Structure 1
């Protein structure tokens, strides 16, 4: 038996009404989570920190429901471009 926990996997549930997007930003990739308004994690995934990656991230999040709120870590550095993109899409 190995004591190493299994790697996290992408989780997906049925689309819900409104969802909340949370993103942990890094130089090369952004790790995103979609949560129900009650706080249940509906899905997680990783996207490149590029313009195309931002578009894919938002399309992916919208598959779970209407994205009306988002929390982006690092809006003064790595998350600045993603924050601008999300605000422009609102």
Structure 2
């Protein structure tokens, strides 16, 4: 469902745009591309809930956001992907191939634009990871198990070291 800042359905004469975002730990870089492929604008936003709101409002001022591509929705972009999913516009974008990035002079703005163009060109059809459900439950259990095994191994090694160095 397309999103606009007023919360209402977009009008038929609204300019439709595609949003692309290159995500990082502290700052996300966004680019908005028209459906004809024209880069309209790029801008940085803080990687916070307030920043996500600002990002979507900024994109809405440029047109009706029908789709958005988020690079790294399983890591630094997870919060933004959830925020955009609530607006019904998010798509996972795979990281561009490294050789192509080097040739084009990699910058965050170029990566954000590439994410928007991947969505526009249909090269980003996947749904972002939701971080819930049985797969996430298994991931959490594996993390806990791995941590327990590591702690057990450390405890055994400490006891062995104490026994070897201890008084006879």
TM over 0.5: yes
C-alpha offsets along residues 29-88 of structure 1, whole Å, 9 cap, x if unaligned? Answer: 000000001111001100000000000000000001000100000011001110000111
SS at the partner of 1:59?
helix
Are 1:68 and 2:62 an aligned pair? no
Q: Give the structure 1 partner of residue 20 of structure 2.
A: 22
Task: Provide the secondary structure at the position in 2 that maps to 1:63.
Answer: helix
CA separation in 2, counterparts of 1:76 and 1:89?
18
Cα root mean square deviation, aligned: 0.9
- Of Structure 1 and Structure 2, the greater strand share is in 1
- CA displacement, residues 9-48 of structure 1 (integer Å, 9 cap, x when unaligned): xxxxxxx610000000000000000000111100110000
Which entry has the higher C-alpha Rg, 1 or 2?
A: 2
Distance (whole Å) between structure 1 residues aligned to residue 36 and residue 74 of structure 2: 28
Aligned twin of 1:10 = none
Q: What is the TM-score normalised by the length of structure 2?
A: 0.44
Aligned residue pairs: how many? 75
Higher relative contact order, structure no. (Cα contacts within 8 Å, ≥ 6 residues apart) = 1
Superposed displacement of residue 89, structure 1? 1.9
Q: Which residue of 2 aligns with 1:11?
A: none
